[in-house]
Amino acid sequence: MMRLTYPPLKLLDRDISILAFNERVLRLAQNPEYPLLERLRFLCIVSSNLDEFFEVRAAPHVDAMRDDEQHTNINVQSYQAIAEAAHALVNKQYQIFNTELMPALADQGVHLVSHGDRTLQQRRWVARYFESDVRPLLVPVALDPSHPFPQVANKSLNFIVLLGGNDAFGRNNNIAIVRVPRALPRLIKLPKNLSTKQQKFISLSSVIRAHLASLFTGREVLSFSQFRVTRHSDLSVDEEDVKNLRTALRKGLVQRNFGEAVRLEVSHGCDEKLAKLLLQQFDLPKQSLYRVQGPVNLARLMLLADLAEGNHLKFRPYEPKLSQQLVPNQSFFTQLKQRDILIHQPFESFESVIDFLHEAVYDPDVLSIQQTIYRTGSDPRMLKLLQEAVRRGKEVMAVVELKARFDEEANINWAETLESVGAQVVYGIVGLKTHAKMLLVMRREDKRLKYYGHISTGNYNPRTARLYTDVSMLTADVQITRDMEYLFRHIASQVKLPRMQKLLVAPFNLHRQMLVKIRAAELAAKAGKTAQIILKMNALTDEALVKGLVNAGRAGVEIDLIVRGACILPIDAPGLDGHIRVRSIIGRILEHSRVFYFKIEQEESMWLSSADWMNRNMMRRVEIAWPIVDSENRARILQECCQMYLQDNQDAWLLNTDGTYVLSAQDLLQPKSKPHELAHAFSAQQQLMQKYTN
């Protein structure tokens, strides 16, 4: 039999794919089914996402542009492609803000009042606020040889001012910088007596703008603009060369605010001379300049979504239910002797995990508690419970990942707090981030030691547990909990990891075993057997895994990929013939669970994991995947996390052959259908909320 050969696989661009994900999020800001303040919230989320994109991904491209680099995958062309996509996204974002959201909110009595639209009474109130609260914190800096351009912190808001006339010493230093103080709220609600029974807000930047001239007595303000610079912020610490990682990271956090500039945002009407001066100051190419028609930092308007009132303007609160597998008011330890317990967040409550830890802390037979800490949020309950466990004489070990991006400071504080009461704190393995989500409890029962564990696809963060989909499992499975014990010991002491019975662990065997599973499906299809793969994850960017999937698809394996964010797999690769389908679900809840399902004939296997299919997860992090062996639990996860999402025709975007995404799946599958012929709209997230509410 002649073997088919194919040209080298051309993968989709990862950075363009990330920006395309944000385009899909931006569409939620236009969804007429969503309340207005929630639409504004999604608009702000896109701004926050773009900040992180530029902070983490842009520096190599900007460097290539500066150096006129042409010989790598990151070059002038790659930068220009990213800049073009980012500019289009930002322009669309401000168009939605100005022409859709703000007019619609004004119709509902929610106003962001500019200086030109304020009444005389409102202007007087603002002037008093400026004099009492704002002016004392403003220190304009006029540029001259003894006052060089000040250090501008990452994402700080500033004004650049072009002045006429001479200063107090007769000199013509005509450029000044005014930093907007971070200590003040960026949004202020006007008193009710000035709001005519409506909700009226003013921005701090508009307050300063209205009184800018008063800061330069005797000078004329000829022109001015807000500006904001984004800097490269991915902390880099040589772990092999530092004696104390925590101390090194604390120093790095200070330096992060002044890393390499990668993006410059200015007001749309910024004078060309001022824009050019700023680009030169920050050594940026012209494509890095973003002129915005509105507030320079839209992410800060998340405050408006928080402060404005009106139930009709926000989602109806969803209250998660107790896990359907849990018996109320019965000991977790008793229940786990009978079966594993799944918790499907946020439809089921993360409070069950808090309750499990609480019972362990106050149970006199519990001897030790071990937990990984990656992103915990601001809720202090788990921290306080671990502290209480120490006070009660239990052995507590916390694996705190100090390098969790943008959570470094919070995690350092956790580590120091736990150490101060006597907990054992370790920082993982040099060169690897500990991203696995594990909680292990050792209990004395009948003079023997019994282990109970919790493992999850998501973080120990009560807040995001209400906003993200994740699946976690409470278990007393002897093999899984023993594997967890071995892994905790390996992380702490760095002894050789014994052979795992059930857990797959990155960077050791998770990547390899996923390739083995894919290859097995490929060989089965080549042998004429039916083979199916369904994968749900946040990102698919590991080249080896992508190539494995493409080979399996070419062999006839039916593959459905539910990938929320970046995906570099080209579904139009020669030989695929439609065997691989990629969809992204973007809805009210952030999709975060990772499910890996393989089926050959009637034989099924399923894994849940903390890991996405990215090279960093597979090779540079400690991650886990665990099997779902109980057939009832496996069927439930397959239905709730996979099949319902494959039926979704409301929040689903399908990856098209040209690398773009189309909303929704039905638009691709039935392009000629008339509206009345289309199936009933189906949102997996909404169906799950209804299911768990009933």
Q: Which residues are catalytic?
A: 435
β-pairing, 424-426 vs 395-400, is: parallel
Paired strand residues for 291? 266
Q: Which region holds residue 353: left if phi is over 0, alpha if psi is between -120 and 50, else beta?
A: alpha
Q: Diameter of the chain by CA atoms? A: 90
Paired strand residues for 597? 534, 606
Q: What are phi and psi of 87, to 5 degrees?
A: -60, -45
Asked if 225 contacts 271 with a C-beta cutoff of 8 angstroms, the reply is yes
Query: Which structure tokens are listed for 178?
Result: 């005014």
Of 543, 666, 658, which is closest to residue 11 (Cα–Cα)? 543
Rounded to whole angstroms, the Cα distance separating 230 from 224 reads 20
Report the SS3 class of residue 265. strand
Of 361, 368, 376, which is closest to residue 397 (Cα–Cα)? 368
Q: What is the DSSP string of 395-409?
A: EEEEEE-TTSTT-HH
Rounded to whole angstroms, the Cα distance separating 533 from 641 reads 14
Q: How far is CA 583 from CA 122, 227, 686, in A?
A: 50, 38, 18
Rounded to whole angstroms, the Cα distance separating 666 from 649 reads 6
- Tokens 């542009």, residue? 65
CB atoms within 10 A of CB 509: 16
Task: Using alpha carbons only, give the angle 111, 99, 194 rounded to the nearest 5 degrees.
Answer: 10
Asked if 520 contacts 547 with a C-beta cutoff of 8 angstroms, the reply is no
- Tokens 């004939």, residue? 601
| Beta-carbon contacts of residue 103 (< 8 Å; ≥ 6 apart) | none
Task: Using alpha carbons only, give the angle 486, 490, 494 rounded to the nearest 5 degrees.
Answer: 160
Asked if 76 contacts 60 with a C-beta cutoff of 8 angstroms, the reply is no
Burial class (CB in 10 A: 0-12, 13-18, 19+), 188: buried
Rounded to whole angstroms, the Cα distance separating 224 from 222 reads 7
Query: Which structure tokens are listed for 257?
Result: 């605010």
